[in-house]
Amino acid sequence: MLMPEPDQGVIDRRDEICRTLRQLVPADCVIDSRESMRAYDADGLSAYRQLPLAVVLPETVEQIAAVMKWCHQQGIKIVPRGAGTSLSGGALPLADAVLLGLGKFNRILEIDYDNRCVVAQPGVTNLAITKAVEADGFYYAPDPSSQIACSVGGNVAENSGGVHCLKYGLTTNNLLGIELVTIEGEILRLGGKHLDAGDYDLMGVMTGSEGLLGVVSEVTLRILQKPATARALLVGFEDTGDAGTAVGDIIAAGIIPAGMEMMDGLAIQAAEDFANAGYPREASALLIIELDGPEVEVDALIERVEAIVRKAGASSVRVSQSEEERNLFWAGRKSAFPAVGRISPDYLCMDGTIPRRRLPDMMRRMASLSQQYGLRVANVFHAGDGNLHPLILFDANQPGELERAEEFGADILRSCVEMGGVLTGEHGVGVEKRDLMTIQFTEDDLKQQQRLKCAFDPGHLLNPGKMFPQLHRCAELGRLHVHKGKLPHPDLPRF
């Protein structure tokens, strides 16, 4: 992975830069020893590591603004960082850039039930928002699998989703307002507790901009009343195509499940070995379909969904009869990544989206690629919205296997785009898929995006080297490298 050539002039000024930063923020908010900076040298894409120039952990928005203003004046690059759980290298440090950590912004500022929203600092974890309001029957809908650790500011930067986004939307659909610090150090408020405004939707553009346009210093999030109940179906199919048909039939019948997940044969076996969730081992595809809402509605829809999946050729159907059983259905799915890590020394986790009707084509393509490359692939999908997570199994100790796995992964993402889909459904571009952007976008498309970047950050000081391909592209392609089943944050659920 080729990153921008570090500016030696800036690196040579490191001591002076740290001295000034200590005047802009409390002295103990600047970290510059190599040992202490180690904790910040990577995010969730830990194949790439780099020590930053210095780490700054401001405590107030004024301090963020002061740091950014000074760095802007001095032409010093800034890499913003939330909790560092990105799977695409969005928070990968640069040798000549200040790493701006938002970890101290960890307070919920206001819980406003009258207007059904929460105002929080960006370093608050995703799950902490729900925890703060659940006693009163509310929750925050986007639920990325890393929600116990990922920050809401990072969620805005990556436009995070979760297994329930089919029904409840992504971060962008649940965000009401942000406070933004520009690279010039100006503090702007976008959106708020009102819904419509007569300006450009800059908050919409900030969401998913991967830290390239500005630093989010406060968020206002919409909270929802928790559904009265939730039940799930566990449905096995002998034929993957039939499972795909069932998913389409459910939606065509006017039903939007809260979540609709699919696993293929290898993923079913691995998950069942790992979690003993009672999955049908003989099935070649498994659907977990969750419905939530008022009890009478859920009961009625469960019946309808059951009829649809049986008609589509389901070989087994189980309906959860208790919360315990519903959680058990999910336990296998949620342990799919570590389960696959147990059956292979290494795997690459891919993330692309296709139009759902192309799923059978994609399964055939993957089977043929699997033969071609001589590597196994296990599949878990967010089936409702066509978001794929193929896990390519390999052994990094076998010469050439890593390279073969990477080529395999790149071919899958190329296939996603060929079939009318996109390179990344939820993990982001970051450094991971940066050099694949030209598969999906023309030069004109990318030029327009970069011009927008220039409107926010003319000096290209914010998070350079991310999202946009460099002039010299390297052959490394999009993936998350997992060695010996060890994810970068082994304690974090990933699904």
Partner 1 sequence: MSIRESCRIPTCRGSRAVVVRAGDMTEYQIDNLGQAAEAIRQVTADGQRLELCGAGTKRHLGRIASYDHLLDAGGMSGIIDYQPEELVLTLRAGTPMNVVEDALAGARQMLAFEPPSMTRILGEAQAGVRGTIGGLIATNISGPRRLTAGAARDYLLGFEAVSGRAEPFKAGGKVMKNVTGYDLSKLMCGSFGTLGVMDEITIKTLPAPETSCSLLVGADDFAGAVALIARVFASPHEPGASAILPAAIAAEEGVDSGSPFTAVIRLEGIEASVRDRLGHLQEMTGGDALAEAASVSLWQRIRDVQPLAEKPLDIWKVSCAPADAAKLLDSLDPRLNIRMIADWAGGLLWIASSKAQLGPALRKAVQELDSGFAMLFRDVGVTREKIEPLQPLSGGMYELHKRVKASFDPLGVLNYERMHQGI
| Interacting residues with partner 1 between 91 and 150 (CB under 8 A) | 112-116, 136-138
Closest separation in Å from C-beta 414 to partner 1: 14
- Phi/psi for 25 (5° steps) reads -130, 160
* H-helix or E-strand spanning residue 19: helix 14-24
Among 101, 259, 338, 425, binds partner 1 (CB under 8 A): 425
Angstrom distances, CA of residue 446 to CA of 312, 432, 454: 42, 17, 12
Tokens 């009102």 found at: 194
Residue closer to partner 1 (CB basis): 269 or 415:
415
Report helix, strand or coil for 124: coil
- Residues 439-458 close enough to bind partner 1 by CB under 8 A: 440-442, 444-449, 451-456
Q: Does 161 help bind partner 1 (rule: CB under 8 A)?
A: yes
x/- binding map, residues 386-405, to partner 1, per CB under 8 A? xx------------------
Q: Pick the binder of partner 1 from 80, 84, 93, 208 (CB under 8 A).
A: 208
Name the residue nearer to partner 1 (CB basis): 42 or 170.
170
Determine which residue in the list 307, 420, 473, 484 makes contact with partner 1, applying CB under 8 A: 420
Q: Report if residue 209 touches partner 1, rule: CB under 8 A.
A: yes
Contact flag: residue 241 with partner 1 (CB under 8 A): no
Residue 345: CB atoms within 10 A of its CB come to: 16
- Expressed in angstroms, the distance from the first to the final Cα of the chain is 26
State the burial class of residue 303 (Cβ atoms within 10 Å of its Cβ: 0-12, 13-18, 19+).
Answer: exposed
Lay out the site mask for partner 1 across 170-199 (x = CB under 8 A, - = otherwise). Answer: x-xx---x----x---xxxx-xxxxxxxxx
The β-bridge partners of 229 are: 293
Closest contact distance (angstroms) between CB of 139 and partner 1 is 11
Beta-strand pair 77-81/54-56: unpaired
Of 115 and 315, nearer to partner 1 (C-beta) is 115
Residues 355 and 383: their CA atoms lie apart, in Å, by 10
Shortest Å distance, C-beta 174 to partner 1: 9
**Of how many residues is the chain composed?**
495
Gap between the Cα atoms of 142 and 144, Å rounded = 6
The least distance separating partner 1 from the CB of residue 181, rounded to whole angstroms, comes to 11
Of 9, 33, 35, 252, the one binding partner 1 (CB under 8 A) is 252
Identity of the residue, 275 or 291, whose beta carbon is nearer to partner 1 in the bound complex: 291
CA atoms within 13 A on the CB side of 260: 24
Could you give the C-alpha distances from 32 to 8, 18, 92, 182, 438, in angstroms and in order? Answer: 17, 7, 17, 24, 37
Number of chain residues interacting with partner 1 (CB under 8 A)? 96
In the complex with partner 1, the residue whose CB is nearer, 68 or 467, is 467
Residues in 62-91 at the binding interface with partner 1, rule: CB under 8 A: none
Chain positions 300 to 359 lying near partner 1, rule: CB under 8 A, are 300-301, 353-357
Exposure letters 283-301 (e unless 16+ CB within 10 A, then b): bbbbbbbbbbbeeeebeeb
Q: For partner 1, which is the closer residue by CB, 334 or 466?
A: 466
